[in-house]
């Protein structure tokens, strides 16, 4: 079948504002959405820019807005975004982030927030001779959160991020959860200092857009709620 693919284009050297361009693209229902973009780039317009790397839902490079929803282009099938011949499929960059060109956003702010929550193991004592042990039950608490591939679909789907670009956002705070609840980690207080702030946890209003957007089906809101309870408990014990 042939699809009408509309892409939000923007070249800062030529365009004052982003604009939509349409392309007719042949597609199989079992193609990925990414293949539509590759067809445009290879056969229609080589100047089209977008990020992609592994194309298998691991690297998280090709998060973008497809038919108005934040998704990974490589993890979405044509049959899930188009009903048949002549249907329109739209591609736009992730909302609320500065656009560098076409579908490529500036991720520097996103990764600044990521680094702010200290997403690494913080330990007090000396390193053990062998690995740091963790029981399956202890690991189960952080297993789902560990699946995050930092694609940014959640953070850029969050209305709190749209309203306040300084808001840490679900991706960074999910990382904070992942390390704070890691039983091998001793840096909870340092991280809670970061997330328990005016631009942190309390701007999560459990809207659930992050859950909808996550290509790994992580129940982000659930884990952020656990982090909120931990922060509130920590505050209460500090002030007791």
Partner 1 sequence: MAASKSNALNWFLHRITGTFLIFMLITHFWVQHYDHQVASVTHEVVTEKGQMPEYPEAAKEGVKARFGPDAEVTPYQVVMQRLADPVYAVLWKGFNILFLIVALHHGFYGLNNVMTDYIRNPMGRLVARSLSWTVALGLFIIGLYSVITAGW
Per CB under 8 A, residues contacting partner 1 are: 160, 163-164, 166, 196-198, 201-203, 205, 228, 231-232, 234-236, 238-239
Q: How far apart are CA 68 and CA 12, in angstroms?
A: 23
What token pair was written down for 189?
């207080």
Q: Which is nearer to partner 1, 48 or 173 (CB)?
A: 173
Q: Which is nearer to partner 1, 185 or 196 (CB)?
A: 196
Q: Minimum Å distance from CB 101 to partner 1?
A: 27
Q: Minimum Å distance from CB 24 to partner 1?
A: 41
What token pair was written down for 94?
């992730």
Q: Which is nearer to partner 1, 69 or 164 (CB)?
A: 164
Q: Minimum Å distance from CB 203 to partner 1?
A: 7
Q: How far apart are CA 3 and CA 86, in angstroms?
A: 5
Give the burial string for 103-128 (b: 16+ CB within 10 Å, else e): bbbebebbeebbebbbbeebeeeeee
Q: Minimum Å distance from CB 165 to partner 1?
A: 8
Q: How far apart are CA 47 and CA 70, in angstroms?
A: 23
Are residues 179 and 119 in contact, defined by beta-carbon separation less than 8 angstroms?
A: yes
Q: Minimum Å distance from CB 202 to partner 1?
A: 4
Q: Which is nearer to partner 1, 11 or 225 (CB)?
A: 225
Q: Which is nearer to partner 1, 39 or 156 (CB)?
A: 156
Are residues 94 and 1 in contact, defined by beta-carbon separation less than 8 angstroms?
A: no
């Amino acid at each position: 079948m042939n699809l009408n693919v509309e892409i939000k284009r923007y070249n800062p050297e030529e365009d004052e504002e982003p604009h939509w361009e349409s392309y007719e693209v042949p597609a199989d229902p079992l193609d990925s959405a990414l293949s539509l973009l590759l067809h445009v780039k290879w056969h229609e317009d080589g100047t089209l820019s977008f990020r992609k790397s592994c194309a298998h839902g691991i690297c998280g490079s090709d998060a973008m807005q497809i038919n108005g929803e934040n998704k990974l282009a490589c993890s979405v099938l044509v049959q899930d975004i188009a009903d048949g011949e002549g249907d329109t499929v739209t591609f736009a960059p992730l909302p609320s982030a500065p656009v560098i060109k076409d579908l490529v956003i500036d991720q520097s702010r996103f990764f600044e927030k990521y680094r702010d929550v200290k997403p690494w193991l913080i330990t007090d004592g000396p390193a053990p001779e062998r690995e740091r042990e963790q029981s399956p039950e202890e690991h189960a608490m952080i297993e789902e959160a560990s699946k995050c591939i930092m694609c940014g679909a959640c953070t850029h789907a969050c209305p709190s991020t749209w309203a306040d670009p300084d808001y840490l956002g679900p991706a960074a705070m999910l990382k904070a959860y992942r390390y704070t609840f890691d039983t091998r980690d001793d840096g909870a207080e340092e991280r809670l200092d970061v997330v328990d702030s005016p631009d942190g946890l309390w701007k999560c209003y459990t809207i659930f857009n992050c859950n909808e957007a996550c290509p790994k089906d992580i129940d982000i809101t659930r884990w952020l709620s656990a982090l909120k309870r931990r922060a509130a408990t920590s505050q209460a014990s500090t002030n007791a």
